[in-house]
Amino acid sequence: MAVKIAKALNTSVEYLVTGEGQEREACTPWAMAVAETVDKLNDTGKKIVFDVAKGLETQYPLENLSSTRVAN
């Protein structure tokens, strides 16, 4: 049960129980949705998505965006 709670809160079980340990950096709902989708891919698909994302990162760095909101 603690593992499910920690996952829902995007933190570690250790942090929930002891208040110590490194808390995970919070992910946006958008990032979580992307991660969940990518997690369903086989290793080849995951590598392709990673390579594309790294390529886009150089072409569209965050500081050049007027908005990080992406339409569905």
C-alpha–C-alpha distance, residues 29 and 57, integer Å:
19
Query: What confidence category does residue 26 fall into, taking pLDDT thresholds of 50, 70 and 90?
Result: low
C-alpha–C-alpha distance, residues 51 and 60, integer Å:
14
Count Cβ atoms below 10 Å from residue 5 Cβ, excluding itself: 11
Q: What is the pTM of this model?
A: 0.50
What average pLDDT does the segment 8-29 reach? 73
| Cα-Cα-Cα-Cα dihedral sign, residues 67, 31, 57, 45 | negative
Is 69 contained in some domain? Answer: no
- pLDDT reading at 16 higher than 80: no
Is 21 contained in some domain? Answer: yes
Q: What end-to-end distance do the CA atoms of the chain give, in Å? A: 33
What does residue 4 show for φ and ψ, rounded to 5 degrees? Answer: -65, -40
Is 32 contained in some domain? Answer: yes
Is 71 contained in some domain? Answer: no
pLDDT digits (tens, 9 = 90+) for 33-72: 888 899 999 999 999 999 999 999 888 887 754 444 554 4
Domain enclosing residue 31, as ranges: 2-64
User: How many distinct structural domains can be found in the chain?
Assistant: 1
Is 58 contained in some domain? Answer: yes
- Can you give the pLDDT at residue 72? 47
